[in-house]
Amino acid sequence: MAKQTAKTTKNSKQPKKTTKTTKTTTTANRRKKAENETRELYYQSPAIERKVSLTTTIIVAAITLAAGLGIGINWDSLTSNFSPYLGGKKTSNTINFSALNSVYSELEENFDGELDNEKIIEEAKRGLVNAAGDKYTYYMTATEAEEFQKDLNGDVGAGVGVEIGERDGYIKVLRTTPDNPARKAGVLAGDIIYKADGVDISGGTVEDAAKKLRGAAGTKVKLTVIRNNKEIDFELTRETINNVSVYTEYKGKTAIITLTRFDQETGKLARNAANEAIKKGCDKFIIDLRGNGGGYVSAAKEVASLWIDGKIVVEQKSSNGIYNDKTYASSGQAILAGKKTIVLTNGTTASASEIVAGALQDYKLATLIGEKTYGKGSVQALKDLPSGELLRVTIAKWYTPNGQNINGDGIKPDKEVERTFDQINKDEDPQLDAALKY
């Protein structure tokens, strides 16, 4: 059951806006060393937080912040554990971590309260990484890393059935999913996320807001949104969310294949869907990538291989050359080559989705209809840290087959068609209508 109340937001606190080649011998040797310590790389959209991985190599640098003696924390231990590698390039730079000891010494001596050294270490790690000034580079605790992996595989557990992301500087509901609590209660696309259980979550990240809305099945959460300058409260009971990555519907001889993310099963599911549609006699395919923020690049490759036969899908380039790589489509598997194909995109089509959309557009194998994509064109490496922690660090940029890097710009569709929040809430879809008529 869901209960809804509303009140006008007047003279009260408003939701906060959120703040989106030939190598030298040395490089070759470092790359060879990296091949012995393999970890998948990925792209990511911060708006949706679904990840994309590139199968290549990285150098893993372990960060160990050890509890010391005397004043309690030995910051100098960072130097030996973190240097000389970061992001795969050797550096002679060193940091004087003894300055942190001075800060901690004064804090411990003068603070009127109890200090949690474990928390201090955790936040020091986070601050160290955040100081890079790159929103795609960040540190994850063991708990956050576990949630990250669940998200990547679509294992969201229990929640209220909303997809949220940053729009116009606010965290907004992008859409509600069918037969889930939020839609049943009346939550609408375009609603601004304000509070969860009375706590303002509007000033945090999309990930933080999502965590507040998740929980055990059967538990309740009070969601407060802003709609037309009014606060509206919803009492929602969390349910297990059915979140498949591929599903298909048919309009006559047209197959509409929706991909919600690119996980380890997406490539196989998309191929099965294509084969089924061919058996049904479909001669037109609409691939819906709207709201798809990414996933494994291996899945993007498998999906692109439905149209592209053995050609390059995406190229990765780094300034030091270590992470330069090319990903090619599989040969002999392009069962949709020559089939009329339309790809639907919008502002939350990102990362792996942009890889597929960009490649199909470059090879003129599909027509893109909808809105400009998100524009995520950099590559991050996942680096294992002690105790299950993870470091995500930007190491390269990626390019479409024609050499375009879409970072910050996105991919412009061949035919631009807008879909407003009002149309979403009325279940009107001018983008899909345009694709069906095309």
Active-site positions read 351, 362, 376
Q: What is the DSSP letter of 330?
A: P
Interior angle at CA 282, CA 279 and CA 287, nearest 5: 110
CA distance 294 to 152: 9
Question: E strands of 329-424, at which residues?
Answer: 340-345, 367-370, 378-384, 390-399, 415-416
Phi and psi torsions of 129, nearest 5°: -75, -40
Q: How many helices (H) and strands (E) does the chain have?
A: 12, 24
Q: Give one DSSP letter per residue of 235-261, joined into a string.
A: EEE-EE----SEEEEEETTEEEEEE--
Q: What is the dihedral of CA 400, 376, 302, 51, to 10 degrees?
A: 160
CA distance 363 to 341: 12
Task: Identify which of 57, 111, 67 has the alpha carbon closest to the alpha carbon of residue 87.
Answer: 57
Residue 202, helix vs strand vs coil: coil
